[in-house]
Amino acid sequence: MLTVYDSASYDTDIANQRYRHRERYSEEEWRLYLEAVFQEYSRFGKELVVISSQTGTKIVVSNWEAANDAPKDQMWYLEGGQDGPYLEYLKSRLSGLRQGIAKGLEEGFKGRVETAFEFTLLWEGMDPNPWDEIPPRTISDFEIGVRELKEFVDVWSYSSWASVWYLEDTLTTETMVEYNRQSMETAFRRMRYVCGGCRIIVGEVGYLYGFPESSAVLRALIETALEQGAEKIFSWVLYDQPREKWVEFGSFDETGRLTETGDLLRRMTQEIPKGRRGRGSRTAPGGGRGR
């Protein structure tokens, strides 16, 4: 699974993404930018089909947490209801990918490449992350994605931090496990309600290790997602990131030592029948810490 940014969107003058600063560009510049995004992803999609065909590896291409990548509601829709700059960007990106994938297949390559849309907010007004004191959002990137992007998306990737809860120290491990299990179940019920029949993966999950309940809660989150039909589950980060505020999520610490999380994932992978294996770990830019 690849979490991908494109060169066309990066404006070196402001060291940021163009879709976050639509006001800087004229209409002509903006249309040329969207075409550049489309063409870049079209070339990329075709190349991935070739690589997949040569290696026998299935490749899934995803954005990173849409609601966090586009944190302002007006980036999704303008006041008149027209597509906002981020939604325009996503449509150019995904349609370009689909065109490139189709071209590769038409030329006879047997690659397996799919598109994914990663989201964080399952309903409007959802509190994304009170640890960072971010106010509740009025949009749901999941609902908008299903409404606007369904024709382009193969799999829907839930970055599940809003379903991960850290509770009072006075509560028992059993209580914390059950609370997190129910939270993940609620998330899947919501996803099935909004997008019945959609293929769901958990693109990010994790739990700070070092707490008495850490392994039990993370196991419960993963097992619940599998029981609820998640095709794949990705641990948020492979190595701890010592420069980040919250570092203890990795399967390995910064020295390469297996952590409590890594040991749990190793044991769980050994427990999974061979035909069900294939879950992985990825390093995502940024990311939340759940609740």
Q: Are residues 231 and 106 in the same domain?
A: no
**Residue numbers of the domain that contains 19:** 1-117
Residue range 246-259: mean pLDDT, rounded: 89
Q: Is 60 exceeded by the pLDDT of residue 257?
A: yes
Report pLDDT digits (tens) over 262-283: 999 999 989 876 655 444 444 3
pLDDT surpassing 60 at residue 128: no
Strand 59-62 relative to strand 2-3: parallel, antiparallel, unpaired?
A: parallel
78-87, 241-250, 253-262: which has the minimum mean pLDDT? 241-250
Nearest to 89 by CA among 72, 75, 71: 75
pLDDT at position 261 over 50: yes
Spatial strand order of the sheet with 233-235 comes to 2-3, 59-62, 113-119, 155-159, 200-205, 233-235, 280-281
Please write the tens of the pLDDT for every residue from 224-239: 999 999 999 999 889 9
DSSP 96-119: HHHHHHHHHHHTT----EEEEEEE
Mean pLDDT of 122-137: 62
Q: What is the pLDDT of residues 183-222, one digit of tens each?
A: 999 999 999 999 999 999 999 999 999 889 999 999 999 9
The answer as to whether 36 is a domain residue is: yes
Q: Are residues 280 and 160 in the same domain?
A: yes
pLDDT at 26: 98
Q: Does a structural domain hold residue 89?
A: yes
CA distance 104 to 48: 8
223 vs 130, residue with greater confidence: 223
Q: Are 274 and 184 within one domain?
A: yes
List CB contacts of 31: < 8 A, sequence separation 6 or more: none
pTM of the predicted protein model? 0.89
pLDDT of residue 287 exceeding 60: no
Q: What is the pLDDT of residue 247?
A: 79
**Is 131 a domain residue?**
no
**Residue after which a domain boundary falls, among 62, 88, 117:** 117
Whole-angstrom Cα distance, residue 130 to residue 291? 6
Average pLDDT over residues 242-253: 82
**Nearest 5°: CA angle at 140, between 153 and 183?**
95
Distance CA 3, CA 238 (A): 14
In total, the chain counts a number of residues equal to: 291
In this predicted model, what pLDDT tens digit does every residue of 101-125 receive, in sequence order?
999 999 999 999 999 999 999 988 6
**Within a domain: 198:** yes
What's the domain count of the chain? 2
pLDDT at 284 over 50: no
Q: Does 133 reside within a domain?
A: no
Q: Are residues 8 and 110 in the same domain?
A: yes
Same structural domain for residues 278 and 167?
yes
* pLDDT of 135: 57
DSSP 8-state class, residue 81: S
Three-class DSSP category at 156:
strand
pLDDT class of 138 with cuts at 50, 70, 90: confident
Examine residue 66 and state whether it is found in any structural domain, yes or no: yes
Is 182 found in the same domain as 81? Answer: no
CA–CA separation, 169 and 187 (whole Å): 24
Q: What percent of the chain has pLDDT over 90?
A: 77
Looking at the fold, whether 291 and 176 belong to one and the same domain comes out as: yes
Structural domain ending residue among the three candidates 67, 92, 117: 117
**Local structure of 207: helix, strand or coil:** coil
Cα distance between residue 169 and residue 213, in whole Å: 10
